[in-house]
Amino acid sequence: MTWLDDLKPEQRTELEKARQFLQLLGQPERDVVMLAVQGHSDQIIASQRYISEHTVRRHIENIQNKTIDVYGRKLKFRQQLVPKVAPYLFLYSS
C-alpha cells in the first residue's frame, strides 16, 4: 500500500486533472506555471526565463484558455489554477 491509497476519491480526481492539464501545456507554459506555484511574480518569471512580462502574460492567457479542456471553465491563473496544480507538481516533480 502506498500513500496514494490513503487519498480520498476527490483528491485522486484532482491530481489526475492536474496531470491531464499539465500535459496540455508546452514547456514554456509549464515553466511559467512552475514558477507561479513557487510564488514568483510576472516580473520575476520574465527575468528568470529571459522573456518580457508581456510574453509571460501571453503564456498565462494561453494557459487559462486551456483550463476549459480539463476543468470545464476558464480558471483564474493564480487564484484558482495554481492551487489546483501545486499539489501535483510538488508530489511528482523530478
Task: Note the pLDDT tens digit of each residue in 51-94.
Answer: 999 999 999 999 999 999 999 999 999 999 999 999 888 776 54
Q: What is the pLDDT of residue 1?
A: 46
Rounded to whole angstroms, how far apart are CA atoms 18 and 90?
12
Q: Cell digits for 92?
A: 511528482
**Closest to 27 in 3D by CA, of 35, 15, 39:** 35
Which pTM does this prediction carry? Answer: 0.88
Structural domains of the chain ordered from first start: 23-92 (1.10.10.10)
Judged against a pLDDT cut of 50, whether residue 45 lies above it is answered with yes
